[in-house]
Amino acid sequence: MTEIATPASAATDEARRQAEICNACRYCEGYCSVFPLMFRSRTFADADIVELANLCHNCRGCYYACQYAPPHAFALNLPRALAEVRAESWQRYAWPSALARLFQRSGVALVVAIVLAVAAIFLAMGALRPTGGRGFYAVLSHGAMVAIFTPLFLLPFLAMARGLARYWREVGGERVRLADLAAATGGAARLDNLAGGHGEGCNFEAGDRFTNTRRFAHQATAAGFLLCFAATASGTLYHYGLGWEAPYSLFSLPKLFGVPGGVLLTAGALALGLLKVRADPDLGAPDLWGGDIAFVLTLALTGATGLMLYAAGGTPLVPVILALHLGTVAAFFLTTPYSKMAHAFYRFAALVRDAQRRR
């Protein structure tokens, strides 16, 4: 494994202690990708622990199978140890890192404040309503939307790219090949690391009972998000490439992608939130619980307000719902580098690095 050093911490040292005990036992070798990687080495640099932490999907199967879990004197709780290292690494990679700490400490309040503030700004812009345009473009022009949301989209993702570059250097990442990306994409789409090594699922929300509920909720959320992105991309193509302006019919690509995407995004995010509420907080990073709930709340509101906007088309409710929807989308983008949305990037990078090691 890599010898690149990263800043040590109490969380990293505790995860290293537990990994060394796991390495001596090796009972969980087939559970997920964490353990084959862990068992390649007898000692672990700080960067190795960070890599293991970001490869872990917190399925919790290893905890319920572990003979050294509390009340044993070894007191192994590897899901929590890796969750704390994972969250610590995301905060360290984030730029500026103070915003990551703020989000994890007061995520719900921060999201609500951004949504309401941005919505109020859009409502106040009603005095500048365009004289032309149809649908929600009669409330806010296409040019105004592009001018506002282009930096809101680009700046957070530039910050995210900066953090990913730091992570890749620390874990000793190599030049990425198409085969690495293909393997990582397949593993991410199937969520192999939430299958428990046997396809019966994980123990996240049901103790020592296996279930695929969390796996399916993740897949629904991811599929919904990608469909919503496809709806936006196809709308952009319609507008700039074909000169067709919104609103679009139900059987147009933006609606064929966007409506089912909104449903899947909303339902999947609400399911993840419910599972989070029911799960044992001691098997994750308890201090980050509020930030995690804020993230799934933002996803659910993004999908729900988009559906509401479509349903309210042509009614006096459009300006208010549009303001709330745009405020929610703005909150989602602005908090991306600091919320659990970061896990999508870092875990994918961890899967790519794992594919490189398996060559």
Would you state the structure tokens that stand for residue 94, as one six-digit string? 């984030």
Q: Is residue 267 scored above 60 in pLDDT?
A: yes
Q: Calculate the alpha carbon distances from 119 to 18, 329, 331 in Å.
A: 47, 10, 10
Arithmetic mean of pLDDT over the chain: 87
- Beta carbons of 202 and 214 less than 8 angstroms apart: yes
Instruction: Judge whether residue 201 has pLDDT over 70.
Output: yes
Span 84-118, pLDDT tens digits: 999 999 989 998 888 888 888 888 888 999 999 98
Q: Find the range with the poorest average confidence among 132-141, 156-165, 225-234.
A: 132-141
SS3 (DSSP) at 83: helix
User: Which H/E stretch holds residue 331?
Assistant: helix 318-335
Answer whether 54's CB lies under 8 Å from 163's CB.
no
Q: What is the mean predicted confidence (pLDDT) over 283-292? A: 86
pLDDT tens per residue across span 25-74 = 999 888 899 999 999 888 899 999 999 999 999 989 899 989 999 999 99
Q: How far apart are CA 301 and CA 310, in angstroms?
A: 14
Q: Are 353 and 173 in contact (CB under 8 A)?
A: yes
Q: What is the DSSP letter of 4?
A: -
